[in-house]
Every structure is written in structure tokens, then in C-alpha cells.
Amino acid sequence: MDFNQNSENTNYVPNQPTKRPNGFATASLVCGILSLVLCCTGILGVPAGALSILFAILSKRKGESLSGMSITGIVTSAIGILLGILAVVYSIYLLFYDPTFREQIDIMMQQMYGVSLEEFFSMYF
């Protein structure tokens, strides 16, 4: 008996076209996760997050909504960008208003570059 001629089989589903994996959605998710990881470095999380948002926008296909991976990439990148910007702002705040942090940076600058923090600022600003 042929499978297609079996009238008792009600579970038969005709072949449906499979969806192609969306590379941009995957790249958006990966860059979003990288943005979260790199937010601790401050400035490196921002470009990774921007790339993630760009890839999510590019992943949208005509007539379809954004995939779950793209939405997750956007959310993780937004969090990574926000945390990266907050880390930079907090570091700048500490540099100007916390004397112990400023002394530590001054010692590090003298050991690495042979220039104090005040001399560095006077040369470039």
C-alpha cells in the first residue's frame, strides 16, 4: 500500500518550504552579546552595539517582521551601549573628583610614559 493512498493517515503534512537561516540576525545576536561583554572596557561596547543594531535592521526581510534573534540582538546591544557609556562617564567623573583615583592614574602614567597626569593634560589640552 502506498503512503499517499492511505486515507486513514490524517497526520500527513505536505512539504513546506524551509526558512533559510538569516545571517544578519545571527550577527546581530553575536554583536549584541559582545557589546554586553565589552561594556566593561567602556568604549569598546559602543561600536559592537552599533553593529548589532545595524545587522538587526539589515536582517529584516520584505514582508516579514524582525526575528527573535534580531530583537534579542537589539536589546542586548542597547544594554551594552548604555553600560559602556555609563562606565566611561563614571571613569571621567572619578578622574576629576576622586583624589585617590587621580593619584593612582598619575602613578600609572609616570611608570608607563614618564609623564605625570598634569603634564599630559597640559600637552594635549
Tens of pLDDT along 16-33? 666 677 889 999 999 999
Q: What is the pTM of this model?
A: 0.72
Tens of pLDDT along 37-67? 999 887 889 999 999 999 999 988 777 788 8
What integer best gives the mean pLDDT of the chain? 85
**First and final C-alpha spacing in the chain:** 87
Q: Are 80 and 45 in contact (CB under 8 A)?
A: yes
Q: What are phi and psi of 3, to 5 degrees?
A: -60, -40
Share of the chain above pLDDT 90, in %: 50
C-alpha cell belonging to residue 38: 565589552
